[in-house]
């Protein structure tokens, strides 16, 4: 487990698509130059009177990891001829990610076999060295349900989950067996058990493997609610749903996103919400955060790693390399049967600098004097577009 500045998150129980043009990264010339042992959760602190106090936690989530050909080449260069090294790409956000008690990513693509061949758009096969890089950056679990999950069929899906397992990164949204698909991904953070569930709108027209309808979770409101309730019965204190949805290149959430967000956040059992947080991916551009029915929804975080992005008009679109990281501080329930509440909600603007091949924490870069204020402010305006500031959403460091 990656060491953290806060308490580490450890695995607690069993492991459980419009896409084509928008996922295509151009080859534009740049303008400028093994799994570790888990860390045990800290013991609960003693409350006045000798009672045991439950410990809250912070959760960080980020957007699509989408390795185009240029990204694969950059990782090869960073490895100095020894395979592929994706760690330098993520080093600029490592402090934020590893500083959380629980960190969740979205692994958009599937992995090719060790040694290759590796491909970018339109049918991705990414180097499996991404998995240990995610682990070293501090990620604990990744959603793996996307429109690219079946780019290389069942074999690619299996290789991807095998590599994540080997690196010690949990996953949700795709499965190698019916038994795996039926189990929620449960993680430990603070004194909470957190379930991660994940779903995608489509698989780019690739059919589910014959006889394996459980391979990839497709968006179905009834199934999502049923899975959330099952995760709660399995011991989850907090249920997080990762959803690959929305309209590519559209900063405003579409009607399906808005409708599904309202329905999912309204679902309750015994007066308690069935879902505690929704994390959206897929649109390739940052989208708004919003508190819906008392539950935080990120409609879209944007691309965390991607090559120079080409939009549906065939033009380079810098928005495809902008994103946000969400950071939520959860506190224990104040009464039996109550929910774990988000006491603090934050977003951190991020940019992937394709000229250097590096993820950039924009606020940290601005403090160092880098001229990226306009990029930061553009992301901020989109994130706050649906009034999240009035519900307490803050821009973090």
Residue spans of the chain under pLDDT 70:
1-52
- Give CA separation, 95 vs 92, 136, 364, in Å: 7, 11, 11
Residue 46 lies in a domain: no
Q: What's the pLDDT score for residue 78?
A: 98
Residue 188 lies in a domain: yes
**Encoded tokens for 273:** 């919400």
**Encoded tokens for 294:** 């008392």
Q: What's the pLDDT score for residue 24?
A: 66
Our count of domains for the chain comes to 1
- Which region, left, alpha or beta, applies to residue 158 given φ > 0 means left and ψ of -120 to 50 means alpha? alpha
If we measure between CA atoms, which residue out of 109, 106, 139, 112 comes closest to residue 121?
Answer: 109
The answer to whether the CB of 272 falls within 8 A of the CB of 339 is yes
Domain coverage including residue 166: 10-27+55-395
Residue 179 lies in a domain: yes
Residue 153 lies in a domain: yes
- Domain with 146 in it: what CATH number? 3.60.21.10
Separation CA 271–CA 274 (nearest Å): 9
Q: Classify burial at 143, counting beta carbons within 10 Å of its beta carbon; exposed 0-12, middle 13-18, buried 19 or more.
A: buried
Separation CA 315–CA 190 (nearest Å): 45
Q: What's the pLDDT score for residue 23?
A: 66
**Through-space distance between the first and last CA atoms of the chain, rounded to whole angstroms:** 24
If we measure between CA atoms, which residue out of 187, 196, 9 comes closest to residue 101?
Answer: 9
The answer to whether the CB of 33 falls within 8 A of the CB of 323 is no
Residue 87 lies in a domain: yes
Q: What's the pLDDT score for residue 6?
A: 40
Q: What's the pLDDT score for residue 53?
A: 73
* DSSP 3-state of 283: coil
Q: What's the pLDDT score for residue 19?
A: 36
């Amino acid at each position: 487990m990656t060491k953290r500045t806060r308490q580490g998150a450890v695995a607690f129980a069993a492991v459980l698509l419009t896409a084509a043009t928008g996922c295509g990264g151009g080859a534009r010339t740049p303008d400028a130059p093994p799994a570790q042992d888990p860390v045990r959760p800290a013991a609960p602190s003693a409350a006045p009177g000798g009672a045991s106090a439950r410990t809250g936690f912070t959760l960080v989530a980020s957007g699509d990891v989408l390795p185009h050909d240029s990204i694969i080449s950059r990782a090869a260069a960073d490895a100095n001829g020894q395979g592929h090294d994706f760690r330098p790409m993520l080093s600029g956000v490592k402090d934020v990610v590893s500083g959380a008690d629980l960190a969740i990513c979205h692994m958009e693509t599937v992995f090719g076999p060790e040694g290759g061949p590796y491909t970018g758009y339109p049918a991705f096969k990414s180097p499996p060295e991404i998995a240990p890089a995610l682990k070293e950056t501090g990620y604990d679990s990744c959603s793996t349900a996307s429109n690219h999950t079946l780019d290389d069929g069942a074999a690619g899906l299996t290789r991807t989950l095998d590599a994540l397992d080997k690196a010690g990164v949990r996953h949700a949204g795709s499965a190698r067996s019916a038994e795996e698909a039926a189990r929620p991904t449960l993680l430990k953070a603070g004194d909470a058990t957190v379930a991660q569930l994940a779903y995608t709108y489509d698989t780019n027209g690739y059919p589910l493997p014959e006889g394996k309808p459980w391979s990839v979770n497709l968006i179905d409101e009834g199934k999502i609610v049923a899975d959330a309730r099952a995760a709660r019965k399995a011991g989850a204190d907090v249920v997080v749903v990762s959803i690959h949805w929305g309209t590519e290149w559209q900063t405003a959430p579409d009607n399906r996103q808005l409708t599904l967000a309202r329905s999912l956040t309204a679902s309750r059992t015994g007066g308690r919400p069935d879902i505690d947080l929704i994390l959206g991916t897929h649109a390739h551009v940052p989208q708004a955060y919003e508190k819906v029915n008392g539950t935080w929804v990120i409609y879209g975080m944007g691309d965390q790693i991607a090559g120079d992005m080409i939009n549906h008009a065939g033009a380079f679109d810098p928005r495809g390399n902008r994103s946000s990281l969400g950071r939520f501080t959860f506190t224990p329930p104040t009464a039996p049967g109550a929910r774990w509440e988000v006491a603090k909600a934050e977003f951190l603007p991020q940019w992937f600098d394709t000229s250097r091949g590096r993820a950039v924490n924009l606020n940290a870069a601005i403090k160092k004097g880098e001229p990226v204020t306009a990029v930061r402010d553009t992301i901020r305006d989109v994130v706050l577009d649906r009034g999240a500031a009035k519900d307490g959403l803050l821009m973090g460091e």
